[in-house]
Amino acid sequence: MAELFDTVLCANDAPMSRSDLAAAMAACDVLVPTVTDIIDAELLENASDRLQMIANFGNGVDHIDLHSARKKGIIVTNTPGVLTEDTADMAMALILTTPRRFIEGDKIIRAGQWPGWSPCFMLGRRIGGKQLGIVGMGRIGQAIARRARAFGLSVAYHNRHRLPTSAEAETGAIWCDDIDQLMAESDIISLNCPLNNDSRRMIDARRIAMMKPTAFLINTARAEICDEQALAEALEKGRIAGAGLDVYSDEPNVNPRLLALPNVVLLPHMGSATHEAREATGDKVIANIRTWVDGHRPKDQVLEGLI
């Protein structure tokens, strides 16, 4: 990026402060934020007319007020596709790890508390033969479905639009137009939809209560899709069997109720944390900027209302 443009780089790996964001938006033509840089309506309204593009480093854009950006005439781009396989790998790891209690087992070994093998020690739940319910069947949801088939899971999914027949055949996934039915029938629920006005708290206390007491919830998308307090209560009271989470409502702080539970696997928002994904993300950001500089519409422009 520095070879192609007059570039100002952040000196560290921390989120930008609000004042730093405001200063950058006053001085640059293109801003390259990450998911932790909250760009709200006030910042955009006060942005310099010089700012013409926000080239987001990442796929999700729920941290950017798209409506205000459009009103200001600012193009917003993201980096779809580059995080798909890595995020799907981690989601599949949580689907395997959480029911089988692998993290609990590791902790017991490290604490020197293993009493030795016995027939009733550390019993988990079998994966093969169970139903995986995927909420959000975009790139990542489909990649998870392909992996799930190899482990003997049947896959059902709920999405805003039904997939083409060819995609259903490739993933082996069955369309479920009623999310309540999916929640009630699935042994594992994986959340993989984007965060927007329709999906915010879509998995609320009512829907969590529909889940089987032996079911598990996996969230590698956005914390706000699920009511975190309702989830914690259901886990505390044994209404569902467990959860595997990579996202939290107050990151980097984690709900103490979740921290106290042994049946929850907690990861530090690392779904896309591979060297390859980060490099590919940067390449896409640069490609979007170069396309715009050359006077063309960037391939990955985000349109309000389509996320």
User: What domains sit in the chain, N to C, each tagged with a CATH number?
Assistant: 18-81+274-293 (3.40.50.720), 84-266 (3.40.50.720)
Catalytic residue of the set 139, 147, 207, 222: 222
Going by C-alpha positions, the residue among 188, 225, 223, 230 that lies closest to residue 208 is 230
- pTM of the prediction? 0.91
What is the mean predicted confidence (pLDDT) over 133-161? 97
Residue 251 annotated to the active site: yes
Q: Give the span between the Cα atoms of 148 and 154, in whole angstroms.
A: 8
What is the mean predicted confidence (pLDDT) over 97-109? 97
Q: Give the span between the Cα atoms of 172 and 212, in whole angstroms.
A: 23
Would you state the structure tokens that stand for residue 158, as one six-digit string? 């709920």
Quote the mean pLDDT of the chain: 96
Would you state the structure tokens that stand for residue 128, as one six-digit string? 């093969």
> In the chain, what is the greatest distance between 2 CA atoms, to the nearest angstrom?
69
Residue 269 annotated to the active site: yes
- pLDDT tens digits for range 3-32: 999 999 988 888 889 999 999 999 999 999
* 304 pLDDT more than 90: no
Residue 282 has phi, psi (to 5 degrees) of -60, -40
Going by C-alpha positions, the residue among 233, 223, 278, 283 that lies closest to residue 253 is 223
Do you find a cis peptide bond into 252, omega within 30 degrees of 0?
Answer: yes
Would you state the structure tokens that stand for residue 2, as one six-digit string? 């520095």
Which helix (DSSP H) or strand (DSSP E) does residue 188 occupy?
strand 188-191
* 253 pLDDT more than 60: yes
Catalytic residue of the set 200, 269, 278, 290: 269
Q: Give the span between the Cα atoms of 256 and 266, in whole angstroms.
A: 12
Catalytic residue of the set 42, 251, 276, 279: 251
* 272 pLDDT more than 60: yes
Cβ 201 vs Cβ 191: under 8 Å: no
Q: Give the span between the Cα atoms of 216 and 241, in whole angstroms.
A: 6
For position 10, what pLDDT does the model report? 87
What is the mean predicted confidence (pLDDT) over 265-282? 97
What number of CA atoms fall less than 13 Å from residue 154's CA on the CB side? 11
Cβ 202 vs Cβ 179: under 8 Å: yes
Going by C-alpha positions, the residue among 48, 47, 43, 80 that lies closest to residue 61 is 80
Residue 93 has phi, psi (to 5 degrees) of -60, -40
DSSP 3-state of 256: helix
Crossing angle between the packed helical segments 84-100 and 102-110, to the nearest 10 degrees: 70
* 267 pLDDT more than 90: yes
Tokens 């259901």 correspond to what residue? 234
For position 82, what pLDDT does the model report? 95
Residue 18 annotated to the active site: no
* 69 pLDDT more than 90: yes
Would you state the structure tokens that stand for residue 57, as one six-digit string? 């480093």
- Burial of residue 238 (CB within 10 Å: 0-12, 13-18, 19+) is exposed
Residue 137 has phi, psi (to 5 degrees) of -110, 50
